[in-house]
Amino acid sequence: MSAIKVPVDQQTGQHPGSSVDQQTGQRPDASVDLRSNLAGLTLANPIAVASGTFASGREFAQLRANQLAADGWPGQGGMPGTGARSNGDSAQAASTSQTDNTFTGEKSERPGSLTGRPGSAPDGFAPDPAPASSALLQGIGALFTKGVSFDPWPGNAGVRITETASGMLNSIGLMNPGVEGFCANDLAWLADCPVPVIVNVCGQKTIDYMAVIERLEEEPAVAGYELNISCPNVCCGGMAFGTDPDAAADVTGRCRSVTRRPLLVKLTPNITEVSEVARAVEAAGADGISLINTVAGMAIDIKARRPLFERKVAGLSGPAIKPIALWAVYRVAQAVQVPLVGLGGIRTAADVVEFMLAGASVVAIGTDNFTQPGHVFELADELRAWCAAEGVNDIKALVGALE
């Protein structure tokens, strides 16, 4: 990093003005209702979406607009599955099941989330000017952005994405425009977003994570944070934090000290026992845990007899990792009390139910959106139909309900 703007006490490692409780690691004014808000699941649809290349939601919105236009729907406003169509200059959708948002306690049409993944634009985020309205995100419960660092990150050289037999490998390297670029462009576009915006935060050092959060605390459009301590595609930071319970707890606790907003931590499956790290970040003040990030994998160019990716290792996502993700969610659900976000290969309503039974309160869909942008809205209806057919009146009863 070129310039850190967050002063830190060299002995305690804490931000001087944070007034952190030394026993709990939390600010006294950090909302005591954060965890109860996260745990108070009253959802008609728990689907959160990890949206592939759509880092800030803009590319997703544009594809959604194109899809709706092709289907005879207006380019903005209502969309299939929300029970509403645009009435011209209004983007308001009819409320089908207005419920509490799992992450923020706010009202939301459908508590799902759109999680940003590697961008196809030069900086990893959608290009300016924004081609479609953020109103097109109506119908998901939250938007999770791609990782945001303090300074711009160029990402990895060479091949960045390749398809596998049951998913894909990516070696993007957390390419992003830095927090100032994110605020000026992507977050500005999301200012009127109809759903909560959860920013995925990345860094090479603990203070990097803190610096991003300190800057974003000034932005009212941000509803919460997800600490990315699990990416296998960077040389420093990332997964290095997520494989060590002490390091994971340290970065979580220090980030907890500089925000009153909901704080989630995204963990890696590339470890012998993920539940140990989960317990550590819960004790350090995490309000929720996301499981899982990509699984470390590799591809080889047999003609060149060389690894396909410059860094050799890449992150595997898609249906291939679903059994691994389910196991991780189940294991962690037995170890912690905070809500879990499950992700990894989810494509169908049955997949959603599996993750909820394993212990996830919310699920996130990512790789599926590469080929089916907007499928999340259909999944919401499919899940509702499944619940009706199975006599499930309260979807939160599915969470951790394995017999």
> Tokens 């590469």 belong to which residue?
370
Q: Which residues of 261-293 are buried (b: 16+ CB within 10 A; e: fewer)?
A: bbbbbbbbbbbeebbebbbbbbebbbbbbbbbb
Distance CA 81, CA 245 (A): 41
The yes-or-no answer on residue 193 being catalytic is no
Say if residues 60 and 125 touch (Cβ distance below 8 Å).
no
Distance CA 144, CA 135 (A): 16
Distance CA 229, CA 242 (A): 5
Residue from 183, 193, 231, 255 carrying the catalytic annotation: 231
> Tokens 């993700």 belong to which residue?
325
> Tokens 């869909």 belong to which residue?
365
CA atoms within 13 A on the CB side of 123: 18
Say if residues 110 and 97 touch (Cβ distance below 8 Å).
yes
User: What residues are annotated to the active site?
Assistant: 231
